[in-house]
Amino acid sequence: GLILVTGVTGYIASWTALKLLEQGYKVRGTARTLSKAEFLKNGPFAKYTSNFEIVEVADLEDNGAFNEAVKGVDGIAHIASPFHYRVTDPYVDLINPAVNGTVNLLKAAKEYAGLQLKRVVITSSFAAIVEPHDPGHVFDEAQWNQHSINLAEAFKADPTNPSKQVPPNEAYRASKALAERALWDFVKTESPSFEVAAVNPVFVFGPVIHSVKDAESINTSVFLLYKYIAGLNPKVEEGAGPKAFVDVRDVADAHIRALEVEEAKGQRFFNVAGAFTWAEIVEILRKHNKLTKNDYPPTGEVVQSYVYNNAKSKEVLGLNYISLEDSVLATAESVERFL
């Protein structure tokens, strides 16, 4: 079958496309920067060039942005969405592209793809699940982040009020929660002939295969880990709130299985390998001699304070998660060239 992968030039999407190609699928990737897509075609996807085509989609928010790209596809993995914390206006920078991109994609799929389109999987996030909770809380896919949506809506109602400004991480979370909500609303109101599913990954680590020009351009989640590898953090800081990881190869598999598995239709999947602390990551890096830039002193034991239930993704999608040590080591090896 032919699968459309939106934002194919990104970290997660490039892995999803590669694994689809390896499994014999044809892939059509959308890109706003064609040179980054050509990099994939000539590099990581070189063995599969006859099965990989590139379509330019300059702006997710353009009405009809995906109308051409969806034609004739059998499945869609909609992965393109902004993930960064450079926020001046939460709506302009994050929420509008996330929501309008999703709605544009779904509308195009309904009107232009054709009846052979079986299923659309969208990349949501833990951001669409997580809300403030006391330590010990167990997170799973039954939960929804209304908290960040409320913050975004309070800002929208009173945008110049200094007390209604939205912190960048909350703006990102709102963008993902609202985009996923737009998916389920679309299904309810439009009753499309295709099925849908959502994949909700936590922090994604693992090897980088897409085109990255310098350290600053590494995607947001890997850059947090890179900062330890490159010695950019003065010391190990856990920060507040829950922290869990998943390897990018397991995120790619989650998308593919969510497209393939009959039982996955209409479902969302919490895509998480387990909890981590930065102290654990630093010890893994130390063990493998990857702390060449800054020898962080050992921090001692840090208690894991939240629980992440990944049973559904294992049972329905058949995922068998890569460990923190394997994921961290593979990440370090793939970003060493930027040191």
Closer to ligand NDP by CB, 27 or 160: give it.
27
- Enter the tokens of residue 58: 């300059």
**Site for ligand NDP contains 80 (CB under 6 A):** yes
Rounded Cα distance, 279 and 302, in Å: 7
Between 222 and 282, CB nearer to ligand NDP: 222
Which DSSP state fits 274? E
Is position 334 an interface residue for ligand NDP (rule: CB under 6 A)? no
DSSP string covering 150-199: HHHHHHHHSTT-GGG---HHHHHHHHHHHHHHHHHHHHHHH--SSEEEEE
Site stretch for ligand NDP (CB under 6 A), options 3-11, 228-236, 306-314, 328-336: 3-11
Between residues 115 and 240, which has the closer beta carbon with respect to ligand NDP? Answer: 240
* Least distance from ligand NDP to the Cβ atom of residue 238, Å: 17
Q: Which is nearer to ligand NDP, 19 or 300 (CB)?
A: 19
Grouping H, G, I as helix, E, B as strand and the rest as coil, residue 300 is: coil
Least CB distance to ligand NDP at residue 243 (A)? 11
Is 5 near ligand NDP (CB under 6 A)?
Answer: no
- Contact set for ligand NDP, span 226-265 (CB under 6 A): none
Q: Taking the complex as a whole, how short is the minimal distance between the CB of residue 84 and ligand NDP, in angstroms?
A: 7
Residue that has been written with the tokens 């809300």 in this structure: 131
Q: Please name the residues in contact with 15: beta carbons below 8 A apart, sequence gap of 6 or more.
A: 206, 209, 248, 249, 251, 252
CA–CA dist 74, 195 (Å, integer)? 11
Can you tell me which residue has the tokens 């499309």? Answer: 192
Stretch that binds ligand NDP, among 39-47, 74-82, 156-164, 315-323 (CB under 6 A): 74-82
CA 49 to chain centre: 25
Is 99 a binder of ligand NDP (CB under 6 A)? no
